[in-house]
Amino acid sequence: MRLISLILLFIVSFHGIDSRYSCKGLRGQNVDWFIIYKLPKGEKGAVSGKEFLYLDSEDANWAQSRKTIDSPDVGLGATISQLYRDEKSAFHFLYSDDSPIGKADSYRGHAKGVVLFDSQTGFWIVHSIPNYPDPKGKYSYPETAVKYAQSAICVTVSTDNLGDIGEHLRYIQATPYSTNLPSSFDSRFPVLKNIIAKKSLPSSATQFVHQKYTKTVNGMTFYMVAKYKKLHKDLWHDVIAQELKANLAVQSWLNGNADDLHTTCSGQYYVYDMQTVTIPGLTFNSSKDHSKWAASDSEKVPIVCIGDLNRQKSQLKRGGGAICLNNQYVWKSYRATVNLVEPCRTNRGRYDFRIDTQTICSLVFALVVLLKFTNF
């Protein structure tokens, strides 16, 4: 009898709560979390620009989906399709600085995402895709977001954590474009009314960073971090790298006429801007990538973050945040994508984030020659 109880406990702990709302996998099944990387159009293996790579709580190795990102029954599409059930008893909050039904907002938070919960559990998606998703009708993917690479992370969490997610959204000044707030959620989480009404922090506020370590339904810890616009600092270098005590390579949108921050080699931990990305079978320039993510340089602190903000000076004055995982398997998949970064610009800077085998061999050879001819 005890053995049966232990088996049942294992099944419940592994599969989480049986909820109507959850992140969905490549077979349309409930998963604890997932990450997708949509490939840029016109590259090898990504002719249409709708192909995507995927990893999740069941397998943290990159896999290319047989279906495309506009499919409503796998991964991101299957997850967001739950929104179209239009159940009045569920809370939903769709937010974007560049929504499909309004003008782009350059004043509030530079952030995009989807939140959908019932009374027990739900999911939270942070993504980089403009004009997405459509709040009504059926699932679709915008043609305006096909050209460049994009990313998204989904976490399935208990509804008990919705207050913390709400605070995160308040700090980043998320711009809602479709919401539903049942009375049961209103009384349980008062912050939700504030974010729907676009109520910002009070003028008397002195705390401009919101940080929280929480868990998915299956017990994986993740770090959620948000910065308010008045912080006037870089999310990646000044907040995440220093808090998690790790050097980071950051992929973000650095195109256009904006003033980039560039690789930052100051403080205890450095942040390097990505220049080229390598995904299984494909290498492309950072300029073809609209996603915002970071990976640490050491397996001792295996951090991967998916977030909102670019490393540009204009973003110092805007809100934004990230979800970070401390997961060795996810880190290995992402660390392998760091092909080339912008090196430090100062004389006291460290080595490049990535030193390849050929460089190491050359240094060793030079040292051997030096020792031989100096009779040391």
Please write the tens of the pLDDT for every residue from 276-335: 999 988 999 999 999 999 999 999 999 999 999 999 999 999 999 999 999 999 999 999
Using 50 as the pLDDT threshold, list the residues of the chain that sit under it.
1-17, 347-352, 354-376
* Cα–chain center distance at 10: 29
Give 282's strand partners. Answer: 279
Write down the pLDDT at residue 19.
62
Phi, psi at 145, each rounded to 5°: -115, 20
Both tokens assigned to 125: 């998606």
Q: CB within 8 A of 68, min separation 6: which ones?
A: 48, 50, 51, 52, 141
> Which amino acid would we find at residue 45?
G
Please tell me the distance from the alpha carbon of residue 249 to that of residue 272, in angstroms, as a whole number: 5
- Backbone torsions φ then ψ of 154, nearest 5 degrees: -125, 135
- What per-residue confidence (pLDDT) applies to 2? 39
Is 15 designated active site? Answer: no
- In the numeric block, the tokens 């997405």 are attached to 132
User: Which has the closest alpha carbon to 50: 61, 36, 40, 62?
Assistant: 40
Helix (H, G, I), strand (E, B) or coil at 85: helix
Q: Is 197 helix (H, G, I), strand (E, B) or coil?
A: coil
The pLDDT assigned to 346 comes to 62
Cβ pair 217, 16 in contact under 8 A: yes
Distances in Å between the alpha carbon of 200 and those of 227, 289, 323? 12, 31, 21
CA dist., res. 78 & res. 29, Å (int): 9
The DSSP secondary-structure symbol of 260 reads: B
Note if the bond before 133 is cis, omega within 30 degrees.
Answer: yes
Where do the domains of the chain lie?
Answer: 2-374
What is d(CA 307, CA 318) in angstroms, rounded to the nearest whole number?
13
Q: Is 119 exposed, middle or buried (0-12, 13-18, 19+ CB in 10 A)?
A: middle
Phi, psi of 176 (to 5 degrees): -75, 145
What's phi and psi for 13, nearest 5 deg? -65, -30
Q: CB atoms < 10 A from the CB of 28, how many?
A: 16
* Cα–Cα distance for residue pair 281/69, rounded to 1 Å: 19
The amino acid present at 358, given as its one-letter code, is: Q
Which candidate in 168, 210, 237, 290 is catalytic? Answer: 290
Closest CA to 54 of 127, 132, 152, 129: 152
Q: Tell me, what amino acid is at 228?
A: Y
φ and ψ at residue 222, rounded to 5 degrees: -135, 155
Residue 304 CA to residue 250 CA, distance in Å, equals 10
Our CA angle for 130, 132, 134, nearest 5°, is: 150
